[in-house]
């Protein structure tokens, strides 16, 4: 499996509840329908945490969601990204991204698992 992580901040005009609702009910189904060869698409909504050892951050959160996208291969991922870059597809997806995300915050990472999990 080939996996990516996308780190995203919400559109600041939305509340956390509005962001999560729109992402789950509108954006995720739209994005999944536009991405060929997507095998799995998960969203992990984040809330900053702090304690005596780790700072919880300031007034602004670095990210609101970590999205994982899984493909059978890197070639399948590249095919999906090429499809999303087609002008007519990019226009549809981009319009919805403008509603829900701070698009300047979007960062895509290619993930490589280290192997065995530590229990």
The pLDDT tens digits for 33-46 are 999 999 999 999 99
The pLDDT tens digits for 86-106 are 999 999 999 999 999 999 999
| pLDDT exceeds cutoff 70 at 28 | yes
DSSP codes, 50-62: --SSS---SSS-S
Kindly indicate the confidence band of residue 114, based on its pLDDT and cuts at 50, 70 and 90: confident
Q: How far apart are CA 106 and CA 43, in angstroms?
A: 14
* HSE-CB of 66 using CA atoms within 13 angstroms: 11
């Amino acid at each position: 499996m080939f996996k990516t992580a996308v780190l995203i901040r919400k559109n600041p005009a939305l509340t956390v509840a509005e962001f999560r609702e729109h992402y789950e009910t509108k954006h995720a189904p739209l994005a999944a329908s536009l991405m060929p060869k997507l095998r799995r698409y998960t969203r992990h909504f984040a809330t900053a945490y702090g304690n005596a050892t780790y700072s919880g951050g300031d007034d602004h959160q670095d990210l609101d969601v970590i999205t994982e996208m899984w493909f059978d291969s890197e070639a399948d991922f590249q095919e999906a990204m090429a499809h999303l870059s087609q002008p007519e597809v990019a226009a549809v997806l981009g319009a919805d991204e403008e509603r829900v995300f701070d698009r300047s915050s979007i960062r895509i990472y290619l993930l490589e698992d280290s192997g065995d999990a530590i229990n």
